[in-house]
Amino acid sequence: MAQHNDEHANAWTCSDTLAQALRGHADLSPADQLALLVAQGADRLPLPGHGHTLQRWRALAEVAAHSLGLAKLYEGHTDALAILSELQADLATEGLRWAVWCAEPPGERVQATAASPDATQRTTLQAGSAVRLSGHKPWCSGARAVDRALVSGWLADGQRCLIAVTMDQPGIRRDDSHWQAVGMAASASADVHFDGATGVLVGAPGQYLSRPGFHHGGAGVAACWHGAAARIASHLQQAVSQGEDPHRQAHLGALDVALASAAGLLRDAAACIDATPSDPCLLAVSRARLAVEAAAEEVLRRVPRAIGPGPLCKNRGLAQLMADLPVFIRQSHAERDQAALGRLLAEMTQAPAQGAGASAWTL
């Protein structure tokens, strides 16, 4: 799989490929648009850490600028392909729509036990082992749209694991009655209940969280936020170009600084990942995610003040992005992520041999 993705990366031109694939299909649902991108091979993005990480994120940003409902499904699908490659899982992906469902709210777990009743197998579960699932998984985007999903679960010994599940089987029930969202409504999220459904372990127990790609993928989500925020800001840029207005110009200048700064940190993170693919690049990724989140919040605050209610009421695409982005960026953990970055910087200060954190503040 990795070789296939690398070869595709060399020919990848995200703007042309995605624009051509989506042209004339704006009336389709995000699920059907994802199926279209998969059928045309526009899901085969460069893998993180293989020299073209920034190209990957530019593609994610472009999809997000088109539709955040689609971006939620597309990012999850392409993340699943990257995970399967990183964990060397020999599973079919061609033509299939995948998702990654790894939310772990308190008190809600999916338990994984050996599919075979043989007691000896229960203690030797490893990558490729068949397991049986029971429990409830919330926040499953595109639950009715995807063919397969990577689901986080727990083994009897308390270890975290990742399971590949085929969705068209008995023992799986989808419940979208709790999804009352207005923003990100099109992501069609649902609760998924597992009652004896079968799956296959992907990677060794605990490997899903410990692998470097866990953090690399988190920066890919931030690329989606950035693409949507930049598209919203472009409406202000267009308004400024139509006439002299110092207030609009001031808002645009502030947003240019915020978005350009965030883009620079995303580029730094991509370069770090490509230079050291076995390193999670936690400092660079954390900075980039938080910078994009802050820039997106500035965009959401300033653009309505600058352009007024007219475009928000008459431009459906802009109105949808304005409704979707505040929900999507809450995939960030806000102050918890800021605190995590602060702890990381404190640890690096105490052990300077591990790297220079604060030194990046100096020119």
- Which amino acid is residue 350, in one-letter code? Q
CA distance 307 to 138: 37
pLDDT at res. 16: 59
Q: What are phi and psi of 270, to 5 degrees?
A: -60, -40
Tokens of 357: 């954190």
pLDDT at res. 117: 66
Longest dimension (CA), the chain: 76
pLDDT at res. 27: 83
- Break the chain down into helix, strand, coil percent, rounded to 5: 55, 15, 30
Residue 1 has pLDDT above 50, yes or no: no
Average pLDDT value for residue range 25-34: 89
Higher pLDDT, 131 or 17: 131
Smallest CA-to-CA distance from 47 within 10, 92, 13 is with 10
Residue 294 has pLDDT above 60, yes or no: yes
CA distance 63 to 351: 41
Tokens of 186: 């099109």
DSSP secondary structure letter of residue 318: H
pTM value is 0.92
**Calculated CA dihedral for residues 144, 148, 150, 155, nearest 10 degrees:** 100
H helical segments located in 93-180: none
What mean pLDDT is reported for the chain? Answer: 90
How confident is the model over 144-153, as pLDDT tens digits? 999 999 999 9
How confident is the model over 46-105, as pLDDT tens digits? 999 999 999 999 999 999 999 999 999 999 999 999 999 999 999 999 999 999 999 998
- Contact status, residue 286 vs residue 348, Cβ threshold 8 Å: no
- Contact status, residue 33 vs residue 19, Cβ threshold 8 Å: no
pLDDT tier at 22 (50, 70, 90 boundaries)? confident
Tokens 């989506």 identify what position? 22
Strands 190-201 and 160-166: antiparallel
Burial of 150 (0-12, 13-18, 19+ CB in 10 A): buried
Strands 98-101 and 148-154: parallel
Rg (CA), the chain: 21
The angle at the Cα of 110, spanning 169 to 199, to the nearest 5 degrees, equals: 35
Smallest CA-to-CA distance from 5 within 80, 62, 64, 67 is with 80
